[in-house]
Amino acid sequence: MYFTKMHGLGNDYIYVNGITEHIREPERLAVRLSDRHFGVGADGLILILPSRRADFRMEIYNADGSRAEMCGNGIRCLAKYVYDRGLMKKKELIIETDAGMRRLRLETDEEDKISQVTVDMGYPIFQADKIPIISEHTRVVQEPISIRHMEYRMTGVSMGNPHAVVWVNSVKRLDLAQIGPEFEYHGRFPRRVNVEFAQVVDREHIIVRVWERGAGETLACGTGACAVAAAGVLNDLTERHVTVKLKGGELSVLWDEADGKIYMTGPAVTVYDGIVTV
Ligand SMILES: N[C@H](CCC[C@H](N)C(=O)O)C(=O)O
């Protein structure tokens, strides 16, 4: 089977063209290929599929085989994949995802290869039962949650997938290997959760580390960066346009006051093409 390894700020995925390759059990394939010792190695698997309602359809499977609704870094790379290989040559495209339609705007370099992509990530969702997070309140804003005998305050946001944003004084000292899984599998998250630990540098800059549902600590998370930007405004800690600094690099996120949507801009990189026996 042919595949392409790509990443957005080090959040890496294995891309398979579901138009030319027939994938029978994507969940099992995701687990096998994502393994960084016995497989190709990645945070998950992304299938590029035909769509009757959009230019393409994206299915994303985390490294543990679970299917996710949306992937911010992954969708930028999908746009690069289809443009650079001439599967479509428009500078604007619409991708169908499990979270709905997403519109993308592409920027190219001097060799007409995609360098930057801006994604209309849609509206942030704060209603607890739509994230979902179990709560007595309609929204989860700075609500306490006890993890390993420590109390954290979380703000719940859905970007099509579930996020809990936790403000901290410093992301450096956090032991994500310890507390990440406790958040991810906590009983208050019926569909588990991606958790972002966010340190406000100033009203336009945030440093973030993320423990992703189904993948563990990743170098970046596009939907997570958007969730942090939305929570920053909700908690009046940051402006609507912020630079989110993740381990793998920076994303520019704007929660547009005019249309209420979140726009995320960042890079997309092709690492290599390969063939794997399945
Ligand atoms: N682990 C996520 C999917 C990947 C999202 C992330 N890699 C991004 O760039 O948005 C979930 O289960 O919701």
Q: What is the pLDDT of residues 212-265, one digit of tens each?
A: 999 999 999 999 999 999 999 999 999 999 999 999 999 999 999 999 999 999
Ligand 1 pocket, residue 157 CB under 6 Å: no
pLDDT digits (tens, 9 = 90+) for 135-167: 999 999 999 999 999 999 999 999 999 999 999
- Res 278 pLDDT > 90: no
Q: Is the CB of 215 under 6 A from ligand 1?
A: yes
Given this model, what pLDDT does residue 89 score?
87
Determine the distance separating the centroid of ligand 1 and the alpha carbon of 110, expressed in angstroms.
31
- Average of per-residue pLDDT across 6-16: 98
Domains of the chain (ranges; CATH) run: 2-121+266-275 (3.10.310.10), 128-260 (3.10.310.10)
Using the atom order of ligand 1, give the atom closest to the CA of residue 11. Answer: 7
**Ramachandran bin of 49, using left for φ above 0, alpha for ψ from -120 to 50, beta for the remaining angles:** beta
The response to whether residue 227 sits with its C-beta less than 6 Å from ligand 1 reads no
Structure tokens at 249: 């690099």
The answer to the question of whether 169 is labelled as a binding residue is no
Q: Which of 155, 159, 148, 69 is nearest to 119 (CA)?
A: 159
What atom in ligand 1 is closest to the CA of residue 224? Answer: 10
Look at the alpha carbons of 215, 221, 222, 228 in this order and tell me if their dihedral is positive or negative.
positive
Residue 72 labelled as part of a binding site: yes
How many CA atoms lie less than 13 Å away from 27 in the CB half-sphere? Answer: 5
The tally of CA atoms less than 13 A away on the side-chain side of residue 124 is 31
HSE-CB at 180 with a 13 A cutoff on CA atoms is 18
pLDDT-derived band at 61 (thresholds 50, 70, 90) equals very high
Give residue 41's pLDDT. Answer: 98
Q: Is the pTM of this model over 0.90?
A: yes
Partners of residue 206 on adjacent β-strands = 200, 244
Q: Is 192 annotated as a binding residue?
A: no
Mean pLDDT of 192-198: 99
Measured from the Cα of 43, ligand 1's closest atom is 7
User: Is residue 255 within 8 Å of 262, Cβ to Cβ?
Assistant: yes
